[in-house]
Each structure stands twice: as C-alpha cells, then as structure tokens.
Chain A
Amino acid sequence: MKKYENTGSKDTRSGFGAGMTELGQKNEKVVALCADLIGSLKLDEFIKNHPERFFQIGIAEANMIGIAAGLTIGGKIPFTGTFANFSTGRVYDQIRQSVAYSDKNVKICASHAGLTLGEDGATHQILEDIGLMKMLPGMTVINTCDYNQTKAATLAIADHHGPVYLRFGRPVVPNFTPENGRFEIGKAVLLNEGNDVTIIATGHLVWEALLAAEALEEKGISAEVINIHTIKPLDEEAILKSLGKTKCIVTAEEHNIIGGLGESVARVLALHHPAPQEFVAVQDSFGESGTPEQLMEKYELNHQAIEAAVERVMKRK
C-alpha cells in the first residue's frame, strides 16, 4: 500500500489564496469579488498585486453574485469569495437565475464549509451546499482535500468555461497531494489500490480515508481509496471499475447524508451495479460549536468512523 506523507499541514483556503495569486499573474481576465472576508479567503496578495481587478462588495452576497454574473459580460472570469453558507444557501436564487440558468462563467469559491469551521456553530456550518449546488443544471461541483489540491483546482477552474462551485475549508489539515499537480475536473484520483472494499472520499475526509486504509490493512482488509474531488460531473467510470473489483463501497464526506457525494454514488450504483454501500456523513442534522476535531469525532466523520463503515459494508457483501 502506498504511503502518503503529510508535507506540512496547511488550510485549504490558503491553497485557494495561493491559486488566486498565481492566477492574477497568469490570466488578466480573472477578477475577484469578496463580501467582507478578504482575510478569511486569503485574497490579500491578489488584491495587493491587482487592486483594479478586485471588487469589495461589502456584506451583500446577493449583490456579489449578480455583479459577478454581469462581469462575465465583457469577458471577465469572476471568482467570488465568502463562506460556504453565504456562497450557496443565502444566494441560491441569484446563482440559479443569474449564473447557472444564464450560463455565466462565474467561479463561486467557498471557504469554511462543513463542521470544521468549528466554534462559530451551526449558523455558519453549512452541510447542505454540495446538494444545493449539484442540483443546478450545468454547475460543476468541486470539493478539494488539501492545500495543494485546492491551489491546483483554483488554477484549473479558470480554464474551464462555465459555472463552478469550489468548496474548501478553514482548518489546518495534512497536505499530501503533489505540489503543482495537475487537476483534472471530473477525474477521480486513485490513491490506493485494494481488493476488499472501495472507500470514496471527498474534501477533508480523504486524509481520514487514507488513515482508515492503513488501519484496515493491519486487520487484513485491503481497501481501495479514491479521492473524488469533483462531485459533479462524477467520474462514474472510476467508481464502477473499482466496484467491479471490490463489490462494496463506503463514501465519506463532511456533508449531510442527504444530497451529498454518497447519494451521487448511490445513484451510479443503482443504475449500473447495485452493491452494498455505507455512508460516512452527517445524519441529517445541523452542527454545533466545538473544535474541528471534537466535531468530526462527535458527528462520526473521522477515520474510525470510516473503519466501522467498512466493517459494516463488508458483512453485507
């Protein structure tokens, strides 16, 4: 089994900021918009280098989405930045009509997604955003797992024409994907090959899936680990190929069980290859205040939860 090394823990939002800094130099069409959260979104460097290409909107997310849609008319590639909750649920109709239905080339970049936002509590911990965004026709939905992948995804979405939802987080997490790796939208990344079970994880749960696979190996269980960074369009081929070998699947995500990656995978299974699946996800509840580690433990979103799900699913084969 391949071992992945944490080359130094960082927050995924800093990967976004680094990506924006690079994009600022590489692509003059790229503009950034922010709703009073420059520091949280790590946009300082972009703004310093390109003040004319930055739009401080103030605390007015609906206006931000509309302005972003308007900026595309004239050839700009707008990247909006705020917390995931205010990037999606708060502005759903603006995204639906002015961006998705209008097929505008807007990149909705969302930090502080999920429970790991931590102490601010449930008002800010959106767990429904993947579902909301994937339901919109034409919307690409990406949830990155570490600093390097978030930076690579930020660069990649600038070259993709069409609306994109890019989801990342607040906490410092292990950084283990290749530096300056190529990010292919819609392409799953096979992290570890295995024969007994397929673990499909997205976002912060990818590292936990790798930890789970190591622990499972010691128990004699060979787990295949796939990083699904793009939830829509979903790499169905990669899922089915792995399933053909392992015959069962565990999905893992920092999102509500309803509407997330797990349900997307279940649809693929139902249509093409019915097989046992277990879900590591939030069980249709809101979050609460706490440290990220405490919350991931309480809501069963860590490697222990993945291991338990693997044991359950193996019994159903």
Chain B
Amino acid sequence: MSNTQQLNDLTTQVRRDILRMVHAVNSGHPGGSLGCTEFLVVLYQNIMERKPGFDMDGIGEDLFFLSNGHISPVFYSVLARSGYFPVSELATFRLINSRLQGHPTTHEGLPGVRIASGSLGQGMSVAIGAAQAKKLNGDKHLIFSLHGDGELQEGQNWEAIMYASAKKVDNLIATIDLNGKQIDGTTDEVLNMGSIRAKFEAFDWDVLEIKEGNNIEAIIVGLTDAKSRTGKGKPVCILLHTEMGHGVDFMMHTHAWHGKAPNNDQLANALAQNAETLGDY
C-alpha cells in the first residue's frame, strides 16, 4: 500500500515512461495512456491483492485485463514499476525481438500479461471467463478490466455485458475509460453512444462513476466503493471520467494524441511538465 506522495511520484514517473517510450520509436498511443495513468497506478499499488512473481493461472490473487490494448505504454510502465519485469526493459518497447510488443501479448512471455489485446472488444469476455474460473476454483479474489469508451462500439462487448449480469458474474469490476475521444474525433462525432451509464444499467449492472478520473484520491474512493459492491449478484461497472493526454498541457482537450508520438521539442516540453521522481529507465 503506497501513500499519497508515493502514488504521486509513481504517477509522474509513469507519465515520463510513456512519453519517452513512444518518442523513442516514434509510434504508440500516448493519449489514452496518459489519461489512465492514475487509475492503473492506484489499481496496482493500492487496490489489487497481488502475489509476488507471476503465474498465468493467477489463483489466489486479483487479476487485471487490459481490453484496449493500444494503451500498452501505461500498462507496461505500471507492470515494470510494480515489479513484474525490469524497468530497463521499457527501452525495448516496439523494437524487434522485444517482449514489449506494440499491443500486449502473452506470446513472448512478458510477466503480468495474461491475454493478447489490441483487436478491440474482446477483453470483457475474457475477463468474464477468468471471473467464472475463479468462482469454480472457490477463489474469492476479483477480476478487474479496463475498456475504452470508443471500444464499446464493438458488438462483442454487448454480448458480454448481457451475459455477465444474466449469469451474475459479481466478482468482476469492469472500468470504462470515459475520455470521450477516439481516432477520428470525439465519440459523439464518430458514433454517439448516448448514455453509457443508462446502457449498463439497462443491462442490469451496478454502475458507479469516478467523476475525477485523474485524481488519485477520487480513484481510491471509487475503486474501494466498487470492491464493496462485488459479491452482491451483479457485475460492477466503473465509469471513469478521464482526460486523454492528462498531465501534458498540449496533449489535453484533443483527440490528436491518440496514436501520435511527440517530436524532440514536444518531448522536452512534456517532460518539463513531469519532473523525474523515481528515476528514468
């Protein structure tokens, strides 16, 4: 369990990792990664019950599944800085012969990753399967998953959302990153989804919102609340209101940095806004 200062320091360092990783290979997805940094830091440091080391079955611990795999930079940084693999390995992101593929995968055996993701809309189903395996095993630990809001346009999600409530998969906390942006523009412009809350509620999920999704204290409160709602017959959905590109002023309030790397000057500017805390990789 980390205190507020430690969480703040880690958050800033993860932001630096994200920026430096995508800059180094001039590719990758900084926008959504920066927006979900606080969430993943809090989840891994203060919320999930994790065992030391890594085994695929993950029996006796909480598990996390990243469905929107393109935000791999934040996932990799948080995994490395949570002890799953050496922080120095972040320097291999998207390079040939790396375990840190553009989108996360189990294929190269990277500890901390339990499913490949990248082709969108598949993670909810996988998380449900893992949750049902936990129930069969009598394992009281929880499954967490993260999904993009634009990702909800993939139909498989709604098969999964319908199933999870019908089958009372109440050991699952699925978080939707509600940043309102996708590649071609805002989610409202591309395909207006109306009220995502109303949709999840109509599918009989227990829905809660974290209005300040880039505020560490708010995330702790929200995730703690979500945990308390598990085991009551309904899957739990968190609507996490985030700002894409959070922490870098020129990357915020636009969808432009969804999948674009900063140039040298932009990187220097962005890093100046996030001073080194725990040491760069």
Interface of A with B (CB < 8 Å)? 31, 52-53, 55, 57-58, 60, 62-76, 78, 93-94, 96-98, 101-104
Contacts and interface: CB of A to CB of B under 8 A. Distances in A.
Contact of A70 (B117, B126, B137): B126
B127 interface: yes
A75 B92 CA distance: 31
Contacts of B127: 70
B122 A98 contact: yes
A66 B124 contact: yes
Interface stretch (B43-51, B52-60, B202-210): B52-60
Contacts of B128: 63, 66-67, 70
Contact of B156 (A62, A69, A73): A62
B136 A93 contact: no
A62 B156 CA distance: 6
Interface string B98-120: 00000001110000001111110
Given A55-B132, A60-B163, A71-B130, A66 B56 contact: no
A154 B127 CA distance: 26
Contacts of A98: 115-116, 122, 125-126
27 contacts: A55-B132, A58-B162, A58-B166, A60-B159, A60-B160, A60-B162, A63-B163, A66-B122, A67-B129, A67-B160, A73-B56, A73-B63, A73-B115, A73-B126, A73-B129, A73-B130, A73-B133, A74-B130, A74-B134, A74-B136, A75-B59, A76-B136, A93-B122, A94-B156, A97-B119, A102-B105, A103-B106
Contacts of B133: 70-76
Nearest to A94: B122
A66 B162 contact: no
B205 to A, nearest CB: 15
B125 A97 contact: no
Q: State the main secondary structure of chain A at its contact with B.
A: helix
B22 interface: no
Contact of A65 (B65, B125, B136): B125
A74 B139 contact: yes
B118 A70 contact: no
Contacts of A65: 125
B131 interface: yes
Contacts of A68: 129
Given A70-B126, A74-B133, 14 more contacts: A60-B163, A62-B122, A62-B155, A73-B63, A73-B126, A73-B133, A74-B137, A76-B133, A78-B129, A94-B125, A97-B116, A97-B118, A101-B106, A101-B116
A295 to B, nearest CB: 32
A181 to B, nearest CB: 32
Interface of B: 56-59, 63, 65, 105-107, 114-119, 122-134, 136-137, 139, 155-156, 159-160, 162-163, 166-167
B73 to A, nearest CB: 20
A31 B126 CA distance: 15
Contact of B107 (A53, A78, A101): A101
B84 to A, nearest CB: 16
A96 B105 CA distance: 12
Contacts of A94: 122, 125, 156
A68 B128 CA distance: 9
A172 B84 CA distance: 53
A106 to B, nearest CB: 10
Closest 10 CB pairs of A and B: A70-B129, A66-B125, A74-B133, A60-B159, A63-B159, A67-B129, A70-B130, A70-B126, A71-B129, A62-B156
A63 B116 contact: no
Given A63-B156, A66-B156, A94-B156, A73 B125 contact: no
Contacts of A78: 129
Given A101-B116, A102-B105, A103-B107, A62 B125 contact: yes
B57 A75 contact: yes
Interface-centre pick from A63, A78, A98 (highest chain B CB count, 10 A):
A63
A209 B213 CA distance: 65
Nearest to A29: B136
Nearest to B118: A97
A162 to B, nearest CB: 13
Contacts of B57: 73-75
A70 B125 contact: yes
A271 to B, nearest CB: 27
B117 A97 contact: yes
A97 B15 CA distance: 28
Interface-centre pick from B57, B130, B137, B155 (highest chain A CB count, 10 A):
B130
Contacts of A72: 129, 133
A96 B126 CA distance: 14
A102 B129 contact: no
Contacts of B167: 55
Nearest to A74: B133
A92 to B, nearest CB: 11
A53 B131 contact: no
Contacts of A53: 136
B113 to A, nearest CB: 9
